[in-house]
Amino acid sequence: MSKMLNLKLKIWRQNGPHAQGSFLEVDAHDIPEDASFLEMLDVVNERLIADDVEPVTFGHDCREGICGTCGVMINGQAHGPEKGTATCQLHMRKFNDGDEIVIEPWQATSFPILKDLMVDRRAFDRIVEAGGYISAPTGTAPDANEIPIPKEVADTSMDAAACIGCGACVAACPNSAAQLFTSAKLHHLNTLPQGQPERWKRTEAMVETMEDFFGSCTNHGECHEACPKEISLDFIAFMNKDYVKSKIKNRSLASKR
Amino acid sequence: MLDAKIPEGPIEDKWDNHRFNMKLVNPANKRKFDVIVVGTGLAGASAAASLAELGYNVKVFTFHDSPRRAHSIAAQGGINGAKNYRNDGDSIYRLFYDTVKGGDYRSREANVYRLAQVSVDIIDQCVAQGVPFAREYGGLLANRSFGGAQVSRTFYARGQTGQQLLLGAYQALAGAIKSGKVTLYNRSDVLDIVTKDGEAKGIIARDMLTGEMHAHSAHAVVLATGGYGNVYYLSTNAMACNVTAAWRAHRKGALFANPCYTQIHPTCIPASDEFQSKLTLMSESLRNDGRIWVPRDRDEARAVADIPEDERYYFLEEKYPAFGNLVPRDVASRNAKTVVDEGRGVGPLKNGVYLDFAAAIARDGEQAVRERYGNLFQMYERITGEDPYHSPMRIYPATHYTMGGLWVDYNLMTTVPGLYALGEANFSDHGANRLGASALMQGLADGYFVLPYTIGDYLAPKLGETALSTDDPVFTEAVKDVDDRARQWTTKKGGTHGVEHYHRELGKIVWEYCGMARNQNGLEKALSEIPALREEFRKNVKVLGSPDGINTMLEKVNRVDDFMEFAELKVRDALHRTESCGGHFREESQTEEGEALRDDENFAYVGAWEWNGPDQEQTLHKEPLEFEYVKLTQRSYK
Ligand SMILES: Cc1cc2nc3c(=O)[nH]c(=O)nc-3n(C[C@H](O)[C@H](O)[C@H](O)COP(=O)(O)OP(=O)(O)OC[C@H]3O[C@@H](n4cnc5c(N)ncnc54)[C@H](O)[C@@H]3O)c2cc1C
Ligand code: FES
């Protein structure tokens, strides 16, 4: 049987994007140390329901740190204290008996609060729609081994593609910038041979869509610290370079038309 | 009689012949057709993107906030493709053969052959989209052998293959959304399928932000809504996975096939307590290097390191020398259950077996093991607080995948004309047991390469017909019914327990009596307990908050309500199938060595059930299975 913790929780409650929010204070007693953070919230919710109080709304699905649905600020840190760990994979053994834990939603103007701890991250989808893909209509592909890709290239592409789109980078950034997210997608596609034909168009479109929604990057590096997949800051530098180039390339491509 | 519409000709030619014989919609006319796709997992996203590329107008629905969150994202190990890049004797025929045999001869040969055929195109397609599959130093694609296969035909992207494949399909979908050919309805919960004169005409979806019910109409409806594994409450599925869309289709006339077939995955982290909300899978690829054992002595109390080799019971290696730790999932799972039931389990609750990497680390070095499985080891440590580099992992089987689903013909159409089912939602190509790395393959096969052809055959004759107006009474009545159903939960006062409680109770019944091993007594017991629980649930479940806005309890109560009905059918199916096959193990039907014993004479068929109304037993229809190419033999992995 696991050890039990008694915790003091302050949980943000807000009924809708425009509603007034406030903290709910909960004495969460007998929380098993082997529970995950979300299982702790499950226990709290079941107790609220027993008292006829509506449970706290939070986003979650896979609970394996891969779908990117979960994510809350835990004592001011996106996804909490454990490095490289999404909220759902954080376990209560990382806390001590008697701890006070403040739980809040991501805070960024482009991620409006929907309810309690749940936010709307559709702006991320808009960035991908702007060009975060390789156009390869079904059925047109050549043999998969026709274009060898050096292992190092495939590996670095995969490092970037590991992003789960949770939004912790934006939530952690003092400017609510989305550079880490956008650069990870760009790096994933722009390093691959298959990604070359649309590289400059993609870069310009994604960066500019990103700027429509999010703040600008001033190199704090908080995003990387908060990232559950520890996506590298190097990708931001690559993106910046590609963006400058894309301006020139796209202009010269346009003049050839 | 169920007509599977299997094309004529030798098995290698069936799909080609069929593609030639099907009616086509001319490219300029495709824009005159609307198609609804429900689900944005591998099957749904690939189908929606491919249909849009062809020119159809596609509306795609998901209850997630973004298509990229679908449960497919969690698949770890890999995807099969009969490329034979390793020169180790693989071929389309071998993948076909392995799949039919692995499925314990309960799948349709023609479908499986087609699946193996298009598997090679899937790999090409994914690479072209930028899926960063693992590669060798020479730059060519890497492969591994995976659960039960004796060739290396599995392609993988670290331990995140599902993520990368889904991102590929999601990105294709994003492109199609941008081009305007696809309209995305996110946070939309599809709660009913609408039919008129027996044909599928549309759906009713609840806007999960406002609670409003919306009717959507189209020329065809495609369900790619995943499996029903969460009927067990605890499973490796994502929390929101549910049977609702498929179940509602069943209630509208779609037959539900083989609901008793469930795959129990051998390598999951054992449950640690009652609060547990889900079980975590450790990729099966771990079985390539990990050795599974339990102490021979039931009362073993020494630390792992102090247990000498000869006092360790490597039960799979001993019983199945040829396949060892790589026997198919059902065999591995059942054997783990046997040793745990014998009292040899390990861990604080004695509810697991060891998966030990000491030998691999001694042989290849810790670094090599770290490279292969680093992220899995890290995940294990995060969850359990134990370090698998130094002490063996503890694993136990958990519900993972569902082979049953909506019955579909060769065209992937259900028994409701115009209603299709793809991916895990259909009863699919895996028979009574699925091989590792074949679900991703099947989802993408259905979505990229099968449906885009077969749907044209249904639509072509409808040229000129407009989609039914959502003002039609079938839609307005359906909206009202669905809305009433949702509101009844929140208007009902009193209530004793929340939804989780009832879901957990249901899960316990289904796991106990219709889990890894089933018998007549237990199943009959479940058949009496489930309706009683359902009644109590409907009377006493407590749903707080308003139906007119975000309400996660309300979302869940509808799903659990459907699981309550579905569970009964699942048990009934398990009770009627008195043979054992694949993941369906009837204790009454086993060989002397305790292996699943099929009864081909009486059960070589797909069992497809027809809804007859609430509180009525469903009617069983049979699709006989004929095996022309793969000879029926007792599976043996000795
Ligand atoms: C942990 C884990 C690991 C796995 N690893 C592997 C592996 O290595 N290899 C392999 O081949 N297979 C693996 N599988 C199996 C495989 O991942 C799944 O079978 C497959 O991804 C299912 O894909 P799908 O598209 O059919 O459904 P899903 O990915 O489940 O997608 C269902 C979609 O339908 C939507 N939906 C459902 N109902 C509704 C509704 N009522 N209204 C609106 N939207 C709805 C959801 O939002 C979602 O978008 C694994 C499974 C698990 C659980
Ligand atoms: S719930 Fe999926 S990443 Fe946390």
Structure confidence by residue, pLDDT tens digits, A181-233:
999 999 999 999 999 999 999 999 999 999 999 999 999 999 999 999 999 99
Q: State the Cα–Cα distance between residues B220 and B417, nearest whole angstrom.
A: 8
Chain A residues whose CB is inside 8 A of the B348 CB are 1
For B133, the closest chain A residue by CA position comes to A154
**Range 238-267 of B in CB contact (< 8 A) with A:** 238-240
Nearest CB to B74; choose among A43, A64, A148: A64
Q: Are residues B84 and B225 in the same domain?
A: yes
Question: CA B504, B506, B509, B510 torsion: positive or negative?
Answer: negative
For B159, the closest chain A residue by CA position comes to A162
Residue B358 lies in a domain: yes
Number of domains in chain B: 3
Residue B10 lies in a domain: no
State the fold for domain A4-115.
Answer: Ubiquitin-like (UB roll) (3.10.20)
Q: Name residue, tokens 């308003």.
A: B546
Q: Which phi and psi angles does B319 have, rounded to 5°?
A: -80, -30
Mutate which of B66, B71, B430 to test ligand 1's pocket (most atoms within 8 Å of Cβ)?
B71
Q: Are residues B198 and B211 in the same domain?
A: yes
Among the bound ligands, the one closest to the CA of A61: 2
Residue B9 lies in a domain: no
Among the bound ligands, the one closest to the CA of A168: 2
Residue B11 lies in a domain: no
Residue B512 lies in a domain: yes
Indicate the residue among B381, B400, B419 that finishes a domain: B400
> B277 — contact with chain A (CB < 8 Å)?
yes
Q: Are residues B289 and B249 in the same domain?
A: no
Q: Are residues B456 and B579 in the same domain?
A: no
Was domain A122-255 assigned CATH 3.40.190.10?
A: no
Domain-wise residue ranges, chain A: 4-115, 122-255
Structure confidence by residue, pLDDT tens digits, A29-73:
999 999 999 999 999 999 999 999 999 999 999 999 999 999 999
Among the bound ligands, the one closest to the CA of B205: 1
Indicate the residue among B442, B462, B482 that finishes a domain: B462
Q: Are residues B202 and B141 in the same domain?
A: yes
Whichever domain contains B520, its CATH number is: 1.20.58.100
* Confidence category of residue A143, pLDDT binned at 50, 70, 90: very high
- The range of the structural domain enclosing residue B584 comes to 473-624
Q: Are residues B395 and B531 in the same domain?
A: no
Query: B47: number of CA atoms within 13 Å, CB side?
Result: 36
Q: How far is the CA of B288 from the centre of ligand 2 (A)?
A: 27
Residues with CB under 6 A from ligand 2: A 60-63, 65-70, 86-88, 164
Residue B136 lies in a domain: yes
Cβ–Cβ below 8 Å for A154 and B552: no
- Max Cα distance, chain B (Å): 77
Q: In terms of pTM, does the model score above 0.90?
A: yes
pLDDT of residue B42: 98
Contact B5, B624 (CB under 8 A): no
Mean pLDDT along residues B342-358: 95
Q: How far is the CA of B552 from the centre of ligand 1 (A)?
A: 20
Nearest-CA residue for ligand 1 atom 21 is B72
Q: Is the CB of B328 under 6 A from ligand 1?
A: no
Q: Are residues B384 and B412 in the same domain?
A: no
Whichever domain contains B230, its CATH number is: 3.50.50.60
Residues of B annotated catalytic, as ranges:
329
Structure confidence by residue, pLDDT tens digits, B389-444:
999 999 999 999 999 999 999 999 999 999 999 999 999 899 999 998 999 999 99
Cβ–Cβ below 8 Å for B383 and A36: yes
Query: B301: number of CA atoms within 13 Å, CB side?
Result: 1
Q: Are residues B518 and B449 in the same domain?
A: no
Q: Are residues B304 and B408 in the same domain?
A: no
Residue B496 lies in a domain: yes
Helices (H) and strands (E) in chain B, counts: 17, 19
Residue B612: helix, strand or coil by DSSP? coil
For A66, the closest chain B residue by CA position comes to B74
Q: Are residues B271 and B324 in the same domain?
A: yes
Residue B634 lies in a domain: no
**What does the DSSP 8-state code read for residue B322?**
T
Give Cα separations from B332 to B265, B294, B336 (angstroms): 8, 13, 6
Whichever domain contains B276, its CATH number is: 3.90.700.10
Q: Are residues B283 and B328 in the same domain?
A: yes
Interface ipTM = 0.98
Q: Are residues B245 and B335 in the same domain?
A: no
Say which residues have a Cβ less than 8 Å from residue A155's Cβ, sequence separation at least 6: B132
Cβ–Cβ below 8 Å for A49 and B498: yes
Contact B194, B467 (CB under 8 A): no
